[in-house]
Copies of this chain bind each other. A is one copy, B any other.
Amino acid sequence: MSKLVECIPNFSVSKETDPVVFQGLVDTANSVPGCTVLDVQTDGDHNRCVFTMVGSPAAIEEVVFRLTKKATETIDMTKHKGQHPRMGATDVIPFVPTMDMTVEECVEMSKRVAQRIWDELKVPSFLYEDSATSPDRVNLAKVRKGQFEGMPEKLLQPEWAPDYGERKIHPTAGIIAIGARMPLIAYNINLDTSDLEIANKIAHAIRAINGGFKYCKAIGVMLEDRNIAQVSMNLVNYEGTPIYYVFEMVRALADRYGVRIIGSELVGLTPAKALLDCAEYYLKMENFDARKQTMEYHLIGME
């Protein structure tokens, strides 16, 4: 089987604000064999675009370097305006393990890419999320605080030296946040009650911050059109906190309030493995190996 990694780099330009520069990035994203562009999002108000790409580690490392080079050459942050917080032409580069990869391997990738970007392009970077070199740098919002305009001053503060590069931004490309993280699963469970308070109590019980599951964030939400309450979750590491953990715990807690689960939903893309793990759990499967036993995994693994 071959290793696969996802990369979702964000750039400070949009098709709406500069179609030529945008198209240059699109062409670059498609320039490396072994890398597939799954999705490109662009937002004129944010003046920002996001590429979702997947491929072999070597292909992804190469394409994201080429993209950063292209962005450095064609985007001038001194002239950038947009609603979304940003600090660089290439703003964020997250690496996400997809198949036969560990998050540790993605951390190594993030460091190699950050080093090469500094060596060849002279653009500095912070490591963030699982690649972070201090707890202060895990959260992207904290790292990016001050944005492009405030970075020259921030980099001079004792605790904010870049992880790669000198204590000054690239004059036109700024500075980048580079890091590894597990895929995020947006998962919601609907209850047969219109009492938002029950959803809030359940969310309170299952989320990490209050002592619940380590990789679960949760809030109660009212679905006004259906007049039902929902437990809305982000699962930030489905290997540590599988979907069926939260499903079974929400079921148990709902029962305590005399309420039932009437449905659930996944928002956006999810690794199939997170769902195959649920099938394995509910069917009490013995010795199941999704990579060896499902035809689709075989297909992806073939070169």
Report which A residues bind B (CB closer than 8 A).
4, 6, 36, 38, 54, 98-99, 183, 190, 243-244, 247, 261-266, 268-273, 275-276, 278-280, 282-288, 290, 293-300, 302
A296 nearest in chain B by CB position: B272
Q: Is the CB of B276 within 8 A of A293?
A: no
Contacts of A286 in B (CB 8 A): 190, 263-265
Q: For the complex, would chain A's binding face be called helix, strand, loop or mixed by DSSP majority?
A: mixed
Contacts of A288 in B (CB 8 A): 265-266
* A–B Cβ pairs within 8 angstroms, 22 of them: A6-B295, A36-B299, A36-B302, A98-B295, A99-B296, A183-B295, A262-B284, A263-B285, A264-B284, A264-B286, A265-B285, A269-B298, A270-B295, A271-B294, A272-B272, A272-B295, A272-B296, A275-B276, A275-B290, A276-B279, A279-B282, A300-B300
Q: Is the CB of B279 within 8 A of A294?
A: no
Bound-state CA distance A99–B288 (Å) is: 22
Contacts of A272 in B (CB 8 A): 272, 276, 290, 294-297
Copies in the complex: 2
Contacts of A268 in B (CB 8 A): 293
A294 nearest in chain B by CB position: B272
Bound-state CA distance A262–B286 (Å) is: 9
Known A-B contacts A36-B302, A54-B299, A302-B36; the reply to A243 vs B294 at CB < 8 A is no
Bound-state CA distance A279–B262 (Å) is: 15
Bound-state CA distance A96–B4 (Å) is: 27
Q: Is the CB of B294 within 8 A of A265?
A: no
A192 to chain B, nearest CB (A): 11
Q: Is the CB of A283 within 8 A of B36?
A: no
Contacts of A294 in B (CB 8 A): 269-272, 275
